[in-house]
């Protein structure tokens, strides 16, 4: 795991953006795994800026981590709407090349299996963008999710309902179920890029990076991934024991 402790979320998003843009330039048909939440918003602004200044997204494909069950794709709070508004509509990406699970699928298990098959048919995810929940969830893989889990319907933890209530008019509007790529699905991405910002993520970050690998903190499964880069702001890095070592390593990378 490569850990970068950045001055702030702006610097972290810029660095993450630079390396993703470099990969799109090298492989214009890159397959991106994308996340929602407030954390990747600045990174998405970097991608939009890159598109405006000549990076071509017309062959890029994308798969989102998750979607709320019961929200139609055109619902203002659906993750499909979030992605269209905050990223896709500002890029020259073809909408048919973007994939978000369908929260209204009739046969959810069949839809989940088809989603996995589509990822496979695309050649797998090249770069998976991740945030982290305050309880250590990635996608919507809540604590005690199997570290081998695949795309499936999940029950959101009370903490997550509470954390995500800010996006809805009433706390009771937050859907209780979601379709989420599994931890096992995420671990198959060729690279994982996790962004974690703010003091409320410090405990989850500590568990993910320096705790034991455990389903109690699903993000800790990334310790088994051969190519994970984590970008933190100072607040999210507060509880890390080896902060100085991460700073040293990140400023002394081999050429
Ligand atoms: C949601 C998403 C996650 C995201 C998390 C953190 O639960 N399913 O993918 O990482 O929220 O959100 P935020 O970035 O707003 O803190």
The predicted-structure confidence for 176-190, as pLDDT tens digits, reads as follows: 999 999 999 999 999
Quick: pLDDT tens for 28-55: 999 999 999 999 999 999 999 999 999 9
Q: Is the full-model pTM beyond 0.95?
A: yes
Considering the candidates 46, 116, 142, 233, report the single residue annotated as catalytic: 142
Question: Is a pLDDT exceeding 90 seen at residue 67?
Answer: yes
Per-residue model confidence (pLDDT) at position 126: 98
The atom number, within ligand 1, closest to the CA of 39 reads 14
Domains: count for the chain? 1
Q: For residue 30, how far is its CA from the centre of ligand 1 (angstroms)? A: 23
- Here the CATH number for the domain that contains residue 119 is 3.40.50.1360
Mean pLDDT calculated for residue range 233-245: 98
Q: For residue 254, how far is its CA from the centre of ligand 1 (angstroms)? A: 33
Considering the candidates 137, 163, 188, 233, report the single residue annotated as catalytic: 137
Examine the residue annotation and report whether 135 is marked as an active-site residue of this protein: yes
Quick: pLDDT tens for 129-166: 999 999 999 999 999 999 999 999 999 999 899 989 99
Question: What is the domain range of residue 98?
Answer: 2-251
Q: How far apart are CA 28 and CA 21, in angstroms?
A: 10
Considering the candidates 126, 135, 163, 188, report the single residue annotated as catalytic: 135
Examine the residue annotation and report whether 116 is marked as an active-site residue of this protein: no
Q: For residue 38, how far is its CA from the centre of ligand 1 (angstroms)? A: 7
Per-residue model confidence (pLDDT) at position 255: 79
C-alpha distances out from residue 64 to 16, 38, 244, 247, Å: 18, 15, 34, 31
Q: For residue 163, how far is its CA from the centre of ligand 1 (angstroms)? A: 9
Examine the residue annotation and report whether 90 is marked as an active-site residue of this protein: no
Residues with CB under 6 A from ligand 1: 35-39, 65-66, 131-133, 139-140, 160, 164
Question: Is a pLDDT exceeding 90 seen at residue 68?
Answer: yes
């Amino acid at each position: 795991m490569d850990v970068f402790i950045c001055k702030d979320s702006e610097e972290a998003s810029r660095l993450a953006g630079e390396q993703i843009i470099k990969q799109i330039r090298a492989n214009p048909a890159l397959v991106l795994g994308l996340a929602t939440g407030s954390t990747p918003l600045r990174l998405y602004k970097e991608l939009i800026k890159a598109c405006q200044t000549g990076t071509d997204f017309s062959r890029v494909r994308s798969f989102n981590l998750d979607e709320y069950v019961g929200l139609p794709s055109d619902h203002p709070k659906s993750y499909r709407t979030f992605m269209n508004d905050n990223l896709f509509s500002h890029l020259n990406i073809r909408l048919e090349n973007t994939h978000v699970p369908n929260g209204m699928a009739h046969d959810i298990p069949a839809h989940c299996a088809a989603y996995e098959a589509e990822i496979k048919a695309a050649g797998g995810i090249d770069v998976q963008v991740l945030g982290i929940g305050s309880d250590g969830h990635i996608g919507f893989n809540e604590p005690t999710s199997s570290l081998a889990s695949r795309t499936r319907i999940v029950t959101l933890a009370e903490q997550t309902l509470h954390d995500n209530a800010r996006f809805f008019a009433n706390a009771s509007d937050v859907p209780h179920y979601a379709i989420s790529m599994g931890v096992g699905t995420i671990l198959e991405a060729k690279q994982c890029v996790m962004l974690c910002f703010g003091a409320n993520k410090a405990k989850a970050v500590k568990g993910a990076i320096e705790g034991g690998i455990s389903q109690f903190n699903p993000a800790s499964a990334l310790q088994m991934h051969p190519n994970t880069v984590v970008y933190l702001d100072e607040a999210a890095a507060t509880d890390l024991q080896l902060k100085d070592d991460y700073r040293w390593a990140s400023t002394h990378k081999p050429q």
